[in-house]
Structure 1
Amino acid sequence: MRRDILILIVVVVIIAAAVLVVVPLLFGPASAEITSVSTDRDLYHSNEVMHIMIGVNAAGNLENTTMSISGIVDSHGNNRLSHEMAVPLSPGPAVLTYDYQLPPCSHCAGLDPGPYEFNVTLLHDGIEISRMAHSVDIEQ
């Protein structure tokens, strides 16, 4: 009787150890990546709204995740676009959106006509896990 219980305990311990090793290998830790960054147009003028769409794919539930959008550097070296938001992610693809209002006078704000770039960064617990850049043209 004692031997049967000992064998049962050993089998349960072996199965539990196998599950602890195999499950992380098959499913891995929760992670996410930015799959795309796009805007509704390629060319913008003063006072227009830029609709930004960010495609994200998560492999697991990710709490404490933040998305940062920054860029469109003016002639003074300042980011005209700077926004951060919490984005709790669930497994699978998702599309996150943000609307950026361009200044009423682009030239007055230090944005001369030309191409401008911004970065989208995904952070989990304050650590960067994915980044992607996108460019747009701005005119008066």
Structure 2
Amino acid sequence: MKEAVLLIIFILVFTAFLAYKNLPETGFPGENSIKPPESETHLTLNLSSNKEVYHSSEEVELKTTIETPAKLENLTIKVYGIKDRSGRFRIDGERMVDVEPPGTSETFAFRMPSCYGCAGVSPGEYEIMFEIIKDGNTIGNFSKTIRLEG
């Protein structure tokens, strides 16, 4: 009888061990945790400017900020906006970057058109777009509205 009880206890302990061993990682603090695939990495994006209202020929500084908990390599930062009447963006730039946690910032400098009529840009509000591109696919975007005055 004693041997049967010991055998049952051994089987229960062994079964519990096998079940525990096959559990996925739980991500307790201080342990290795499961990381999502890069395509599911959370990005926090922001686009800020040195001013909200601009005039002819003024310099525009646009600061892009990318925050991420994971290292991301070979990203393209694309900033564009203020389309003229011929369909060309008057603000248009891109840069390749690698992002280490917690994140990075890049500043782009552009000059506003000097002549609204000649440049085909009228006074008003314009949306400036900020995109993050990885392997040809947009993985994040953010926009900001600025105002042009004569």
Give, as a single letter, the amino acid of the residue that structure 2 aligns with 1:28: P
- Indicate if the aligned counterparts of 1:53 and 1:95 stay in contact, CA closer than 8 A: yes
DSSP-derived class of the 1:87 partner: strand
Of 68, 75, 87, the residue aligned with 1:65 is: 75
Deviation digits for residues 102-140 of structure 1 (CA, Å, limit 9, x no counterpart) = 122233211111111121000112211100111111122
- Residue in structure 1 matched with residue 3 of structure 2 by the alignment: none
- Residue in structure 1 matched with residue 10 of structure 2 by the alignment: none
Give, as a single letter, the amino acid of the residue that structure 2 aligns with 1:33: L
Alignment of 1:1-140 (within 5 A): 26-30=34-38, 31=41, 33-140=43-150
- Indicate if the aligned counterparts of 1:34 and 1:131 stay in contact, CA closer than 8 A: no
| Distance in 1 separating the partners of 2:113 and 2:44 | 27
| Distance in 2 separating the partners of 1:135 and 1:25 | 39
- Indicate if the aligned counterparts of 2:45 and 2:141 stay in contact, CA closer than 8 A: no
Larger RCO, structure (CA 8 Å, separation 6 or more): 1
Give, as a single letter, the amino acid of the residue that structure 2 aligns with 1:29: P
Q: Give the number of aligned pairs.
A: 128
Give 1 or 2: higher strand fraction: 1
Structure 1, 106-115 or 28-37: larger mean CA deviation: 28-37
Task: Identify unmatched segments of 5+ residues in structure 2.
Answer: 1-17
Structure 1, 64-73 or 22-31: larger mean CA deviation: 22-31
- Indicate if the aligned counterparts of 2:71 and 2:100 stay in contact, CA closer than 8 A: yes
TM-score (normalised: structure 1): 0.77
Give, as a single letter, the amino acid of the residue that structure 2 aligns with 1:42: E
Give, as a single letter, the amino acid of the residue that structure 1 aligns with 2:36: G
Matched residues, percent identical? 25
| Distance in 1 separating the partners of 2:32 and 2:118 | 54
RMSD: 2.7
| Distance in 1 separating the partners of 2:105 and 2:97 | 11
Task: Identify unmatched segments of 5+ residues in structure 1.
Answer: 1-10
